């Protein structure tokens, strides 16, 4: 596959924010930034739903004055500084606080998957970043070594055990996702729980001591029984559901033999560009949602192999 042309950014990727990691222990700087008029605070509830404007199409960010009135005792975690110098912080509200703010501000609360389809790139990426950090903070409150209580440091990006002093850091779980090609056709599969007709690229988590390329070959072999040779990196996507990093690849199969092995897929098959087009046009084949890097992999492959735009194809099919 020709990777010379840069693919579009995946959803949640390319967040234009300086994370300012080197300033996370600078308490004086942090306190000043929290009070700066250009600073804004993003609010998540215990279900990691985001406070949004009434129409639900953009975050309802708090000013420093609103934060002081509504959530004065909630510790702020630094997300970063935007191009204009404005700070962005995360506030994790409890259920009663979130309900009160929704009423006071006439705001909605939405989940990240929905926001990814509605928000612009900056707001979607900021929500994904905040969601991943909030999940780590909520799920890592005790030391895995001694069971002691963890205290947050570094503006919410590091935790230290109050008993043994061991440090803990946010983690991302790497997972590969791959479009496999053989002689002009791509390999797609479906799980039984998916909507009727939906097919997607194959994916799976990277195991300990495993390279990304080896994970690609193992996952495709386990799920579809297909032997993969050469594979190449395509793009990545933060996927905080709850803590994954999706690493997209293209790959070439040594043969078209399919043998479902691990029971994860209900069905897998090869699609030529013409078969993809016909299936989508006739309504019996559903592409993955635009939210996923799987969409980008199929989009790029179809463009390179047939000069067809997946988005235009799906939009035309939806209107017929």
Pairing verdict, β 173-182 and 167-168: unpaired
Q: Is the pTM of this model over 0.75?
A: yes
- DSSP bridge partners of 110: 50
The pLDDT score that the predictor gives to residue 7 is 53
Dihedrals phi, psi of 66, to nearest 5 degrees: -65, -40
8 A C-beta contact, residue 42 and residue 90: yes
Distance CA 150, CA 146 (A): 11
Alpha carbon of residue 223 to chain centroid: 23
The pLDDT score that the predictor gives to residue 8 is 64
Rounded mean pLDDT for each run of 10 residues along the chain, 320 residues in total? 55 95 98 97 97 94 97 97 96 97 95 95 97 96 97 98 97 97 97 96 98 98 97 96 96 96 96 97 95 96 96 91
List CB contacts of 164: < 8 A, sequence separation 6 or more: 143, 145, 146, 148
Dihedral angle, C-alpha 202, 244, 299, 180, nearest 10 °:
-30
The pLDDT score that the predictor gives to residue 81 is 98
3-state secondary structure string across the chain: CCCCCCCCCCCCCCCCCECCHHHCCCHHHHHHHHHCCCCEEEEECCCCCEEECCCCCCECCECHHHHHHHCCCCCCEEEEECCCCCEEEEEECCHHHHHHHHHHHCCEEECHHHHHHHCCHHHHHHHHHHHHHHHHHHHCCECCCCCCEEEEEHHHCEEEECCCCCEECCCCEEEEEEEEEECCEEEEEECCCCCCCECECEEEECCCCCCHHHHHHHHHHHHHCCCEEEEEEEEEEEECCCCEEEEEEEEEECCCCCCCCCCCCCEEEEECHHHHHHHHHHCCCECCCCCCHHHHHHHHHHHHHHCCCHHHHHHHHHCC
The pLDDT score that the predictor gives to residue 59 is 97
The pLDDT score that the predictor gives to residue 1 is 41
All structural domains of the chain, each given as residue ranges with its CATH number in brackets, are 21-139 (3.90.79), 173-318 (3.90.79.10)
Q: What are the CA-CA distances from residue 155 to residues 25, 27, 106, 206 (Å)? A: 7, 9, 29, 30
């Amino acid at each position: 596959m020709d990777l010379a042309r840069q693919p579009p950014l995946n959803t949640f990727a390319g967040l234009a924010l300086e994370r300012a990691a080197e300033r996370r222990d600078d308490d004086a700087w942090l306190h000043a930034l929290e009070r700066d008029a250009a600073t804004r605070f993003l609010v998540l509830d215990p279900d990691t739903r985001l406070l949004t404007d009434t129409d639900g199409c953009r975050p309802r960010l708090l000013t420093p004055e609103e934060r002081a009135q509504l959530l004065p005792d909630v510790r702020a975690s630094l997300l970063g500084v935007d191009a204009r110098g404005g700070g962005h912080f995360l506030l994790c509200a409890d259920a009663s606080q979130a309900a009160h703010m929704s009423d006071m501000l006439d705001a909605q609360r939405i989940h990240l998957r929905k926001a990814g389809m509605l928000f612009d790139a900056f707001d979607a990426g900021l929500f994904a970043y905040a969601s991943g950090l909030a999940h780590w903070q909520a799920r890592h409150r005790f030391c895995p070594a001694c069971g002691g209580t963890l205290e947050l440091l570094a503006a919410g990006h590091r935790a230290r055990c109050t008993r043994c002093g061991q440090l803990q850091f946010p983690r991302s779980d790497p997972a590969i996702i791959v479009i496999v090609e053989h002689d002009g056709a791509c390999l797609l599969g479906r799980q039984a729980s998916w909507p009727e007709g939906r097919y997607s690229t194959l994916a799976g988590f990277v195991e300990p001591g495993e390279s990304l390329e080896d994970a690609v070959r193992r996952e495709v072999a386990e799920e579809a029984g297909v032997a993969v040779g050469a594979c190449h990196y395509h793009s990545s996507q933060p996927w905080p559901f709850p803590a994954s990093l999706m690493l997209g690849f293209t790959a070439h199969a040594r043969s078209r033999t399919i043998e479902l092995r691990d029971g994860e897929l209900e069905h897998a098959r090869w699609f030529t560009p013409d078969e993809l087009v016909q299936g989508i046009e006739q309504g019996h084949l559903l592409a993955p949602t635009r939210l996923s890097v799987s969409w980008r992999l199929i989009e790029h492959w179809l463009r390179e192999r047939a000069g067809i735009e997946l988005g235009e194809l799906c939009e035309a099919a939806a209107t017929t």
